Structure 1
Amino acid sequence: MRLLFTTWAWPSHLYALVAQAWACRAAGHEVLVASQPALAAEIGRCGLPAAVTGHDVDAVAMVRRYVIGAPRAEAGGRGGPRAAEMFLAHAESMTEALVELAAEFRPDVVVYEPTALAGPLAAAVQGVPAVRHLYGTDLMARAKQVLPGLLAPLAARYGLDGVDPFGALTLDPTPPSLRPPAAPPAVPVRYVPFNGGGRPVTLPEPGVPRLCVTWGHTMAKLSAERFLLPEVVRALHPLGVELVAAVSAAQVPLLGQLPEGVRVVVDAPLHSLLDTCDGVVAHGGAGTVLTALHHGLPLLLVPQLPDHAGHAGAVAGAGAGQLLPVADAAPRRLREECLRLLEDGAPRAAARRLREEMRRQPPPAARVGALVSAAGRPVRPSDN
């Protein structure tokens, strides 16, 4: 069987597909990962065959325009149609080339992350099923009334009456407690952390509680002012806990002078750092949230983007952490919330319950058969 995986050029969206793509390859199926030019090298670093489709879209500029332009206190609000318009811009940049690639590659199924809307379009043109692979809480469910209309003009170019942006099947790596009630039905799959191909770092056992502070990749790209990690670390230092700042090489110049004793780890996969941590303080990105919960760690989340607010809200709703609005993230409040995270056993217990929910879900290898069935092919023993 041939599977065409696709995402627009955002590394964290790619990383969410890697475990399932490799599971399909390990089962003997042919896999190709298609994205815009900016992601081609990263796909290769994941060890997967890459195909370039379309042209790059300046997603950072688009996000900056609709978020940074708002007052800082409002940055955690809903982005609604503006975010959908950004996803449409990526679809418009990729669809023609993806349709051509699908005609050449002849996939049996197209697997796409939920915001890569060129995926279901190309699948519909090719006449094969499209399978959504979520990377976090299904926030696209709240746009279900908007997306078909946005895609209609693109679909019409190919003689299609319409395209279902939610595909024929959804694979969901989130624990059931984080799934919105209004989300479409989904097939659960175990979350396997993949945060990039950097060298893992093993930290020594700490003598005091240890918090990992990380701010993903997006916020530093938008604005140095929005990269809150340095000020969060400085605010938490008086607590007397060990602080691990997980950053990328590009973020190191933004750190400034950090307090003595802060451990800075550069370009290490996040999942390799968390075994000896007691909690995570972060921005609310889906990959960070699921990786922390994979380790059973409670989170303090300070979201600044609509999707980050959505993921953080799901965590808080499940009792596994706290959402702190950015307008309230003064040093004293940050310290109070972190102390609560470390001293109150309820968030840790909730995070561990979510970890057990995740562990009970079938691994990606066990979901290869679902993809084979979606394509209408007979399932082999190696696909289960």
Structure 2
Amino acid sequence: MRLLFTTWAWPSHLYALVTQAWACRAAGHEVLVASQPALAAEIGRCGLPAAVVGHDVDAVAMVRRYVIGAPRPGAGGRGGGPRAAEMFLAHAESMTDGLIALAAGFRPDVVVYEPTALAGPLAAAVQGVPAVRHLYGTDLLARAGTVLPGLLAPLAERYGLDAVDPFGALTVDPTPPSLRPPAAPSAVPVRYVPYNGGSRPVTLPKPAGPRVCVTWGHTMAKLSARRFLLPDVVRALHPLGVELVAAVSAAQAPLLGRLPEGVRVVVDAPLHGLLDACDLVVAHGGAGTVLTALHHGVPLLLVPQLPDHAGHAGAVAGVGAGRLLPAADATPERLREECRRLLTDGAVRAGARRLQEEMHRQPPPSARVGDLVSAARRPRERPSDD
């Protein structure tokens, strides 16, 4: 069987697909991962064959406009329409022609796409094969079920399609059941197996006391150095007397400034290898960070600054596995207060471990290969070669 995986050029979205793609290859199936040019090298570093489609879209500039509020080019103000939806559509417009051409040559039996890579279901519909949606976190697009089909309608019409279901024929969900929204489409569960990039893991020694890992993903520093809150958070927490680990990328390291003595700075280390020996994670609310922490049963203090981060943080706080602190309220005093509470709150720690148990009970990616095969074998009509 041939499987075409696709995502737009955002590393964390790719990482969410990696272990399932590996599982498919290990089962003897042919796998190809398609994305825009900016992600090709990273796909290769993940040990997967890459194909380049479309052109790069400046996602950072688009996110910066809808978060910071800068007007869109040619617009007099904020304008109408969801900004995130505009970004997803821009990526779909970039990628769909190339993805359709690639699929015509590769002849996949199924297209697997992360939920914001809307070129995936379009290319699958043109090719006449099923599209499988693979989530990377809580299904925040579940509420957009009435919006996304209309968003895709002009592109669908361009390719002679009456309609395209942006939710695909099947959804694979790596989140624990407690984090799934009630209105989310039905999904098959899969165990979350952390993959945070191919850098060499760093193993921390056993701590003498409480250890707190502070990490801020990759997005916020790209948007604005002022929105990269990690250095301020580390300085705020230092008076607590706990061991602090600042997990950053090489690009973020110059933004740290002078940190207090004793702070351990870890650069470009996969988060998965750090968290097993931590008691708390303080972070931005990205899906990969959240699921990796919960994989280890570690509670979270989340300070979201983007809508999707707020959605992930709200889900975690709602089931008692952590706390959400709005960025506007994240004063040094409040940060210390929340950390003290979370480090001593047995109920929150139990909540995080409960989600860990839920995650580990779910079938591994290898067990879901059969579902992809079954989806591909359902009766369907393939387009002719005429």
TM-score tier, shorter chain, comes to over 0.9
Deviation at 1:68, TM superposition (A): 1.2
Any idea what SS the aligned residue of 2:297 has?
coil
Q: Which residue of 1 aligns with 2:360?
A: 359
1:195-252 per-residue CA deviation (whole Å, 9 max, x = no partner) reads: 0001000101111100000000000000000000000000000000000000000000
Any idea what SS the aligned residue of 2:251 has?
helix
Deviation at 1:377, TM superposition (A): 7.1
Any idea what SS the aligned residue of 2:28 has?
coil
Q: Which residue of 1 aligns with 2:157?
A: 156
Within-5 A mapping of 1:8-27: 8-27=8-27
Any idea what SS the aligned residue of 1:185 has?
coil
Q: Which residue of 2 aligns with 1:43?
A: 43
Percent sequence identity over aligned pairs: 89
Deviation at 1:28, TM superposition (A): 0.1
Distance of 1:225 and 1:291 partners within structure 2: 26
Deviation at 1:144, TM superposition (A): 1.1
Q: Which residue of 2 aligns with 1:234?
A: 235
Deviation at 1:82, TM superposition (A): 1.2
Q: Which residue of 2 aligns with 1:200?
A: 201
The answer on whether the counterparts of 1:135 and 1:287 sit within 8 Å (CA) in structure 2 is yes
Counterpart code for 2:50: A
Within-5 A mapping of 1:126-145: 126-145=127-146
Deviation at 1:367, TM superposition (A): 0.3
Q: Which residue of 1 aligns with 2:32?
A: 32
Distance of 1:157 and 1:48 partners within structure 2: 31
Structure 1 runs (4+) greater than 4 angstroms displaced:
none
Task: Give the count of matched residue pairs.
Answer: 370
Any idea what SS the aligned residue of 2:32 has?
strand
Any idea what SS the aligned residue of 2:323 has?
strand
Distance of 1:49 and 1:224 partners within structure 2: 34
Counterpart code for 2:248: V
Any idea what SS the aligned residue of 1:4 has?
strand
Counterpart code for 2:190: V
Within-5 A mapping of 1:276-287: 276-287=277-288
Q: Which residue of 2 aligns with 1:171?
A: 172
Distance of 2:145 and 2:31 partners within structure 1: 29
Deviation at 1:51, TM superposition (A): 0.1
Q: Which residue of 2 aligns with 1:97?
A: 98
CA RMSD of aligned residues (A): 1.1
Distance of 1:207 and 1:163 partners within structure 2: 55
Deviation at 1:142, TM superposition (A): 1.5
Q: Which residue of 2 aligns with 1:83?
A: 84
Deviation at 1:345, TM superposition (A): 0.6
Counterpart code for 1:244: V
Deviation at 1:80, TM superposition (A): 7.5
Distance of 2:149 and 2:267 partners within structure 1: 41
Deviation at 1:157, TM superposition (A): 0.8
Q: Which residue of 1 aligns with 2:274?
A: 273
Counterpart code for 1:41: A
Counterpart code for 2:224: S
Q: Which residue of 2 aligns with 1:245?
A: 246
Q: Which residue of 2 aligns with 1:67?
A: 67
Q: TM-score scaled by structure 1?
A: 0.95
Within-5 A mapping of 1:185-334: 185-334=186-335
Counterpart code for 1:133: H
Distance of 1:247 and 1:377 partners within structure 2: 45
The answer on whether the counterparts of 1:80 and 1:143 sit within 8 Å (CA) in structure 2 is no
Stretches of structure 1 lacking an aligned partner (at least 5 in a row): 71-78, 379-384
